[in-house]
A and B are shown apart, each in its own frame.
Chain A
């Protein structure tokens, strides 16, 4: 498992964290990588905290377990910050990406001992501007690609356009909005620590 990148997603049931992890796996797969994308299934229901995972590597991945020491953490819903230990095991040279409008001071205080990089993005604003509805997973997908540098912005956008054309073959009108959400997210992500 050379150049292994491990990512953990925290979201709430219904926000699309699982779908985002699968789309990320897809995008990395298309660049020639070995990938894993899997959710940690619990008693799923709308609004309950859920976790999903990605492994991305240059060589075959044989490990089949949850991820305990991720390189990156994505938080799709900032209300989880006070109830779930989202930085558990997160490598200090890694980064956390949070969908939030909360202040840097608040975020640093709620993440307590975590000393690594913190990125924020207002996925709600982006999603509503681009798609007219709140689908946080599309902007969060772009955000983690940008932070983890799994691939270039251009390669990512090109690949996602193909994926969306396939995924939304029956509703092509949503492709443009999703693409716009990705572009806005790539530009609006902020590093606060």
Chain B
């Protein structure tokens, strides 16, 4: 039986970690994810988990400790945000290339500078090519659910890649909302026991982890990582189906909200998707065929599936909560449009960079995007494909 509760996004993530009861958690606090290791250390102190909690002196060490633990054969987790993830950068690549299925709870926040502690996706986008699986969460429920599914996906022998579960800093991490929790024993049952095939503490099979890998084989090892990333799609769908059969909450690679017969579509991730649903409903009541595609699985990127799901609409806006500062478009926009091009789907598509550094994203802002899309359909004129949403333009131009 699911349990009706109310928790913040950080409480939801910490609760998932408690129920998973990993062997090792190594973490260093950073706003807005600080509460996750804080709550978790309470669970350790109270004996609610039997995890080895390693209070490290930096995020670089947090990821290093997780790598050491996971290589030894343990299940390891951590949590961080923004500059904490930046400090992990070197070890983030080591974790994925050593094929260690570490799970990280990433509470998205702007990477400095100038210094800003509020939400955007620049931290996640900075590691999008690091070989980690990346799941995004609209709210506390999805942050919890994605974490419960994380180990089953990451530890699958076809995958063996680390996984990060993203949620929006403050917007969901610090907002108390309704949530359905699952029973401890059922979570334990679903997540299962971690049984690595190769690990350092296996005295029957002495191995070396992370040795020198030069011209002769690094390419092949990178290709193996890439192939594992491709295979992860099916594993995510399989685990999500099992999760749905258990909890009644079904997830795909992305969520289509009133997209079937939509003419105007927004593509976005995390909490903005919820606000967009509200706007879609409002516009539908006015007879406007608005729809939403919410990306849940960002790595691996479901390029073909997304392109197909958007093939019937008349205009698309992709919202990026991070600017790639490349003069051409944000990361999600680039991924979506390249997926369309390769799959020979040509729908007029524009990009908005929005919500940077915690800039609030009211429903009216989202509505203005659908209005812009309407105009593009009416006039056939795409205009500038790379735009800002919610920017105080006169202070820039």
Interface residues of A (CB under 8 A from B): 1, 22, 25-26, 29, 34-39, 41, 60-66, 68
**Cα–Cα, bound, A63→B273 (Å):** 9
Indicate if the CB atoms of A35 and B174 lie closer than 8 Å: no
**Judging by beta carbons under 8 Å apart, are A64 and B168 in contact?**
yes
**A65 adjacent to B360 (CB under 8 Å):** yes
Q: Do the beta carbons of B363 and A25 come within 8 Å of each other?
A: no
The answer to whether B278 touches A62, judged by C-beta atoms less than 8 angstroms apart, is yes
With A29-B6, A64-B139 known as contacts, the answer to whether A35 contacts B360 (CB < 8 A) is: no
A66→B360 contact, CB < 8 A:
yes
Which residues of A sit under 8 angstroms from B278, Cβ to Cβ? 1, 62-63
Contacting pair B275 A62 (CB below 8 A) = yes
Is there contact, CB below 8 Å, between A29 and B363?
no
| Chief secondary structure at chain B's binding surface | loop
Q: Which of B248-265 contact A (CB under 8 A)?
A: none
In whole Å, how far is B276's beta carbon from the nearest beta carbon of chain A?
A: 8
Task: Tell me, in angstroms, the Cα distance from A66 to B355 when the chains sit together.
Answer: 13
Residues of B within 8 A of A63 (CB): 274-275, 278, 363
Given contacts A35-B6, A62-B274, contact A68 B362 (CB under 8 A): yes
Contacts of B172 in A (CB 8 A): 64
CB distance from B148 to the nearest CB of A (A): 20
B176 engages A38 (CB within 8 Å):
yes
Give min CB distance, A66 to chain B, whole Å. 5
Q: What residues on B are CB-neighbors of A41 within 8 Å?
A: 32, 117-118, 170, 174
Query: What is the chain A residue whose CB lies nearest that of B365?
Result: A65
Interface residue? B178 (CB, 8 A): yes
Extra 12 A-B pairs, beta carbons < 8 Å, given A35-B177, A38-B176, A65-B362: A26-B176, A36-B177, A37-B175, A41-B170, A60-B178, A62-B139, A63-B275, A63-B278, A64-B172, A64-B361, A65-B363, A68-B362
Contact of B361 among A34, A35, A36, A65 (CB under 8 A): A65
B171 within 8 A of A: yes
Q: State whether A38 touches B175 (Cβ < 8 A).
A: yes
Residues of chain A within 8 A of B360, CB atoms compared: 65-66
Task: Determine whether the beta carbon of B174 is less than 8 Å from that of A36.
Answer: no
How far, in whole Å, are A39 and B274 apart by their CA atoms in the complex? Answer: 18
Closest to A55 in B: B177
Q: Is B272 an interface residue (CB 8 A)?
A: yes
Q: Complex Cα distance A29/B7, Å?
A: 11
Q: Which residue of B lies closest to A32 (CB)?
A: B4
Bound-complex Cα distance A66 to B175 (A) = 11
Closest B residue to A60 by beta carbon equals B178
> Considering the chains assembled together, what is the distance between the CA atoms of A102 and B171 in angstroms?
35
In B333-349, the 8 Å CB interface with A consists of none
B277 is an interface residue with CB less than 8 A from chain A: yes
B176 contact from A35, A62, A68, Cβ within 8 A: A35
Chain B 293-304 near chain A by CB (<8 Å), digits 1 or 0? 000000000000
The complex places the Cα of A38 from the Cα of B271 at a distance, in Å, of: 14
Assess the B168–A37 pair: CB atoms within 8 A: no
- Which residues between 83 and 99 of chain B lie within 8 Å of chain A, taking CB atoms? none
Q: Which of these, B138, B176, B277, contacts A36 with CB under 8 Å?
A: B176
Give the complex CA separation of A68 and B272 in angstroms: 16
Complex CA gap A162/B51 in Å reads: 32
Give the residues from 343 to 371 in chain B that come closer than 8 angstroms, CB to CB, to chain A.
360-363
